[in-house]
């Protein structure tokens, strides 16, 4: 089975993430969306909410699993037998950042990173932009899947 891990904080999931996951399930037998837990980071949405947003978005896609994890991504890949890390690239800055991580991961393990370019209509969206729109009472619904709701 070709299993890919798609790691991130998903605070919240965006239409860009949604697109990458949907395209990833065409390439892999299973895509594990892994929400990283970082105790030092302050999130807008709780871990439970972030997980629920993603699960609801993909409730009819059995090839998508949603989990949480702590520690090194490559260690978690080994734990769940994921041979690939899936990442989305929006721009050249993303590429440079992700390239360094991919080289490090390959040096420390045999896990390959697969990059997908974001769709042009979602390449400008980031979770931090979405959070800023939400904080300022803007219409965030054009940037995230329907499952994301602000209470």
Question: What residues act catalytically?
Answer: 17, 41, 90, 127
109: left (phi > 0), else alpha (psi -120 to 50), else beta?
beta
For residues 24-44, one letter each, b for 16 or more C-beta atoms within 10 angstroms of the residue's C-beta and e for the rest, the string is bbeebebbbbbbbeeeeeebe
Helix (H, G, I), strand (E, B), or coil: what is residue 48? helix
Check if the beta carbon of residue 63 is closer than 8 Å to that of residue 30: yes
d(CA 113, CA 86): 6
């Amino acid at each position: 089975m070709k299993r890919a891990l798609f790691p991130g904080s998903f605070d919240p999931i965006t239409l860009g993430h949604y697109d990458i996951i949907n395209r990833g399930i065409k390439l892999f037998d299973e895509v594990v969306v892994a929400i990283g837990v970082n105790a030092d980071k302050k999130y807008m949405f709780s871990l439970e909410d972030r997980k629920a947003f993603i699960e609801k978005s993909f409730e009819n896609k059995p090839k998508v699993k949603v989990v949480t994890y702590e520690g090194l991504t490559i260690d978690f890949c080994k734990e769940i037998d994921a041979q690939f890390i899936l990442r989305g690239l929006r721009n050249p800055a993303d590429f440079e950042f992700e390239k360094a991580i991919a080289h490090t991961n390959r040096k420390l393990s045999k896990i390959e990173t697969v990059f997908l370019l974001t769709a042009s209509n979602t390449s400008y969206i980031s979770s931090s932009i979405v959070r800023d729109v939400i904080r300022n009472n803007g219409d965030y619904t054009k940037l995230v899947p329907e499952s994301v709701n602000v209470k």
